[in-house]
Structure 1
């Protein structure tokens, strides 16, 4: 899955969410650091829940994290 968006400071990013635990995203060091920072922390998988610990091997969880902490513009 390819995700395009912007960070809080306006910097644009484009990453591929791989679904691999050892390398959950490729394309942006800042986004990789964000995923590592929140590994194991609760994220909302949908706006009203459920809340689950972030597993980098689950693309839906990584996408939920990106939607919570960045402005996601496009998902393909």
Structure 2
């Protein structure tokens, strides 16, 4: 799944969520660092839940993290 968005400082990113444990996202070092930093923390999958622990292999949780912490412009 490809995601295009911007970080809090306005920097644009384009990543692919791979679902692999060794490299959950490719394309942006900053987004990869964000995912690594937040691994093991709870993330809301939607505005009201459910809540799930972020695992690098869970593409849905990684996308939810990006929607929460960045501005997602497009998902393909």
TM-score of the aligned structures, taking structure 1 as reference length = 0.98
Residue 30, structure 1, aligned to residue 30, structure 2: yes
Root-mean-square deviation over aligned CA pairs: 0.5
State the match for 1:58 in structure 2: 58
Equivalent runs, 1:1-76 vs 2, <5 Å? 1-76=1-76
Equivalent position SS for 1:43: strand
Query: CA offsets per residue over residues 39-76 of structure 1, 9 Å max, x none?
Result: 00000011111111101101100000000000000000
Query: Gapped runs of 5+ residues in structure 2?
Result: none
* Aligned residue pair count: 76
Moved over 3 A (4+): none
TM-score of the aligned structures, taking structure 2 as reference length = 0.98
